[in-house]
Structure 1
Amino acid sequence: MTRQTQPSVGLLWRGRPDEPPPPREQNRLRAIFDGFEAQGARTVALPFYEEAASEIRNQIGELDAVLLRPMTRAARAPEIGSFSA
């Protein structure tokens, strides 16, 4: 079976509601974004904070995969829930 669409990968990390994500060229995950894109994937930035949990959950549901930046135990995001294929 040949895939007809470009795969999509979200990169999720702890964000802040009062701060927009950093510009791509200043994002500390830039190399990861670049690596996925070099392999033909579309990447999506997903800065998480509790107030955006529902929106982030909806975005995740539209993606093929999500890479989580490790969060401390206190900063984990149970509001997102769990996803399985």
Structure 2
Amino acid sequence: MEDTSNKAGNTRREVLKFGAYALGAVGALGLVAGSAEAQVAKKAAQSAVGYQGSPNGDKQCSKCQHFQAPSSCRVVDGSISPNGYCKIFSKKG
């Protein structure tokens, strides 16, 4: 059988195994960093999304997928009225 070790004495199999571990570690670090960035994301200011305390026709916060009862929103900062409205209204599915 042929010797497949390099100058450092590592076999091809060892080099490939180390490369696979290194790639896996880099991928795992990327996932952790990505989730940490997502958690740090800030909510939009009410003024930035044109929030108002009254509905716009039949569009109101209580009918929006971002609204969290009793008075908050997943994407807009501050106290949110169920009867309010903003430009990022997205009707519940």
TM-score when normalising by structure 2: 0.24
Q: Which has the higher strand share?
A: 1
| CA radius of gyration, larger in | 2
The TM-score, its normalising length taken from structure 1, stands at 0.25
- Larger relative CO (CA 8 A, sep 6+): 1 or 2? 1
